[in-house]
Structure 1
Amino acid sequence: MKHDVHKFIRKHRLIEAGDTIIVAVSGGPDSIALLDFLWKERTRYSIDVRACHVHHQLRDVEADEDEAYIRQFCQKRRIPLYSKRVDVKKYAMASGDGTQVAARKLRYEWFSELLSEMPNSKLATGHHGDDQTETMLMQMIRGGLPIRAYGIPAVRKLGDGVVIRPFLGITKEMIEHYCKQHGLNARYDSSNRARTYTRNRIRQDVLPVLKRENQQVHTHMQRWQEWMKDDQQWLQQQAEESLSSIIIEKSERNVTISCAALLSVALPLQRRLIHLILNYLYGKNSPSITSIHIEQVLELMNQDNPSWDYHLSRSFIVRREYDFCHFSGAQENTLEEQEHILSVPGRIEFADWVLEAYITEDAAFTEAENEIVLDKKALAEPLLIRKRQPSDRIACRGMEGTKKVGRLFIDRKIPKQERENWPILVDGNGEVLWVPYLHRTRVAQAEDDSSCRLVVACCRQGKKKADFTSSSD
């Protein structure tokens, strides 16, 4: 194991003489082994080794015992320890993030602060080769944007410093053997066995199968991550250099390009050029730009039709006029004219409507007239709330084919002034999922065996339920 770790450190130049290495320690085998390893090799590398620990206040007594174990471990070796308690539950409720995401955000915010306070410092984490394999599989399964490298980088920037992962070249089994060999009675987090988390299911069900096929799968995944990162960086650089050759006009909210110039470059660059343009227009408020958005724009550009419009989220439109393609922000006269991403969980206001989305684990949950229940795994995200469009059609439950949304309003005798402010729920493909109180889609409908149910509920501020015509679907 030691040989493999030293080799990985040299290859990626993770450590330099004079560095202060702060090891992020949870108390588990991975981080404790890393702290012990670097502490014992501190003379070899001419480094100052320290430790830091975040108490997430999620596991009560178990977490307190982890903290006590780490403190005792560091005191015995005279390793300086920095610790902090964070309120993950409170932060998650305020931000709408899941527990795991909230914990990671708070953890890395503090890590960044530590690095800024210590010159020549680096943060070391205990991520290993099995983590790399699990992460890459998770990102592929979830449909990560293919123009980005998957996986965990060996080194990345964080605030004024960097994060390093010296154990990415070895497996969990090697780490546990090291702990046993050196008498490190590391702690074990009970949540790592909970099957509610995707990573744990991959770890328990998928990884053993891969290892039976090839014990060195972690090595191949690591090489794949490194090569893919290099390839993506090169392609991104080529796209950035090609950008000026396709742009005809550019302003803060508008970019006009030549369709012929875009389509003349290689397809991998076409995808990245569109992504660069969208990132520029969205700026810091960029939503999740998916591969679907990029593919749809390219598909439209390759059509013979010389004129079309494509509506993106957050009020942006792609419009073609013969050889010109305009990426622009739509007029923002009123709130109702915009599209809004509905996060899960999340809540937004649209005109005088309020819509909320959340996950329920209740398999017997039934829809109220102001709700729709969907199979989250069958959905194309992100979910969007917008006003109706003339071309909108919905695959109504209990009916064959589709029906025009405009016809729904007419059939239910909804006044014209009401129709313009009525929220429409659509998926990432633009498929209409729900016209509240009028009709629900049969697309992604939650079934008895649906394992992840997403509920979207709505109400209208200042309006009574009697103002609405109940749904017949």
Structure 2
Amino acid sequence: MLLEKVKKSIRKFKMLNKGDKVLVGVSGGPDSVCLFYLLYQICKEWDLELHIGHFNHKFRGKESDDDALFVKNLAERFNVPFHLGEMDVRREIERLGLSEEEGARILRYDFFFKTAEENGIKKIALGHTRDDQVETVIMRMIKGAGLLGLRGIPPLREERNILIIRPLFEIWREEILEYLKEKKIDYRIDSSNLSPFYLRNRIRNELIPYLKENFNPQIKEVLANTAENLSLAYEYINKQGKRKFKAVAKIKNGKINILLEKFKKLPSILQREIFRIAIRELKGNLRRINYQHWKEFEELIQERPTGSILDLPRNISIEKDKKYLIFFLKESSHV
């Protein structure tokens, strides 16, 4: 039974505690609608206070507005607080210089975080499935990614002191559609999911079926299991990286000072993780930081003279002095 599988995942990954307030991100599509119905069923057992959040990107005109109305009606039917965010995302991402997919994701998550913060909510539940995991792994392989990226979507992620949980993490989309059909639950269909304009759609609708037919009928299971194994490896590296970060780094006045000689003696894989940890300490996430930036950081350490400064996206800078690597934000005073 789908509900039991989801409850098992919730317990396995320690996603929920009794009495939690949870913001459920609902687009109106099958995955997020199914997630809401399942969480609603365990409300009494877990003493949960559910809220529904919907972000209208206004990509599809009336269709987008109808999605918002559908989700609003869903919230009212179950007497759950409803939070609506709206923005002309195309105009905003042009201003920010972002791709449509990246910009929509950033603005949507920002809405979820702000809504949670304003309402004292510490957990955001999203409807990512095992299929999303497979599509993400393939997409990152195509674009290029290291261990962190190839582990795919984690079941839990903390940002801005809020925990993102994904209770459908171990569920296939096919199981969700069967459940909704069996329970006669309505949901919305996003017509843009059929558009070949988006890379994820081409992966979902063209590449994965081709791989299943011509290479391995179990390709989705193989990739999902690979991501799980890589995630376990990354968790170990991250744990060791945090331990070493405490040994080599000091945080003072908004700056992170890393002892240069001690850092240089560490294995490269731990150096990379400490680099990521330092960026997260400054900005809360690794948005817009990629492999090329790590290579520039390596060059700063190994080849560039004392006093050199490396500028990274989002106003992040790193200075190399005689004793320290100093991570700081350019808008802050740096003496």
Q: TM-score range by the shorter chain?
A: 0.7 to 0.9
Change in CA separation of 1:277 and 1:98 when aligned onto 2, cut-off 3 Å = closer
Distance 2:110 2:225 in 1: 29
Contact 2:241 2:273 in 1 (8 A): no
Rounded to whole Å, the distance in 1 between the matches of 2:281 and 2:113 is: 23
**TM-score for both structures, normalised by structure 2:** 0.76
Give the 5 Å matches for 1:222-233.
222-233=224-235
User: The residue matched to 2:52 in structure 1 has which SS?
Assistant: strand
Answer yes or no: is the 8 Å Cα contact 2:15–2:165 preserved in 1.
Answer: yes
1:42 Cα offset (Å)? 1.4
Give the one of 330, 333, 340 matched to 2:308.
330
Matched, 1:178 2:176: no
- Structure 1 segments unaligned to the other structure (5+ residues): 298-311, 320-325, 332-337, 344-473
CA-CA distance at 1:255 after TM superposition: 6.7
Secondary structure at the residue paired with 2:203?
A: helix
Q: 1:318 aligns with which of 279, 302, 314?
A: 302
Task: Please identify, of 200-209 and 55-64, the stretch whose mean Cα deviation from structure 2 is larger.
Answer: 200-209
Offset, 1:152: 0.7
2:116 maps to what in 1?
A: 115
Q: Which has the higher strand share?
A: 1
CA distance in 2 between counterparts of 1:155 and 1:274 reads: 22
C-alpha offsets along residues 324-354 of structure 1, whole Å, 9 cap, x if unaligned? xx675537xxxxxx9998x9xxxxxxxxxxx
Matched-pair contact (CA < 8 Å) for 2:137–2:150: no
Q: 1:88 offset after TM fit, Å? A: 0.8
Q: Counterpart in 2 of 1:45?
A: 46
Structure 1 segment 452-463 matched on structure 2, within 5 A: none
SS in 2 for 1:53: strand
**Tell me, what secondary structure is at the counterpart of 1:15?**
coil
Distance in 1 between residues matched to 2:101 and 2:292, nearest whole Å: 25
Task: Report what 2:268 is aligned to.
Answer: 270
Given the superposition, is the C-alpha separation of residues 282 and 318 from structure 1 closer, same or farther in structure 2, using an over 3 Å criterion? farther
Normalised to the residue count of structure 1, the TM-score between the two structures is 0.55
Q: Aligned letter for 1:230? A: L
* Separation of aligned partners in 2, 1:339 and 1:165: 35
Does the Cα contact within 8 Å between 1:255 and 1:277 map onto a contact in 2? no
Corresponding residue to 1:217 among 217, 220, 223: 220
Quick one: structure 1 residues 206 and 283, their matched pair in 2 at CA, closer, same or farther if it must change by over 3 Å? same
**Cα deviation, residue 74, structure 1:** 2.1
Residues 1:43 and 1:258: Cα distance change in structure 2 (over 3 Å): closer
1:125-274 mapped onto 2 (5 Å cutoff): 125-146=126-147, 150-209=151-210, 213-215=216-218, 217-218=220-221, 221-239=223-241, 256-257=260-261, 262=265, 269-273=267-271
Distance 1:73 1:143, change over 3 A: same
In the TM superposition, what is the alpha-carbon distance from 1:246 to its structure 2 partner?
9.9
Letter in structure 2 aligned against 1:330: S
Larger radius of gyration: 1
Once the two structures are superposed, the pairs formed by residues 49-128 of structure 1 within 5 Å of their partners are 49-119=50-120, 121-128=122-129
Aligned partner letter, 2:84: S
Question: Matches of 2:246 and 2:63 in 1, distance apart?
Answer: 57
Pairwise CA distance, 1:56:
1.0
Residues 60 and 277 of structure 1: CA distance in aligned 2, closer, same or farther (over 3 Å): closer
2:53–2:83 Cα contact (<8 Å) kept:
yes
Question: C-alpha separation between the residues in 2 aligned to 1:170 and 1:51?
Answer: 21
Distance 1:288 1:328, change over 3 A: farther
Q: Taking every aligned residue pair, what percent have the same amino acid on both sides?
A: 26
Instruction: Compute the displacement of 1:18 (Å).
Output: 0.5
Flag the structure with higher helix content: 2
Cα deviation code 1:411-436 (max 9, x no counterpart):
xxxxxxxxxxxxxxxxxxxxxxxxxx
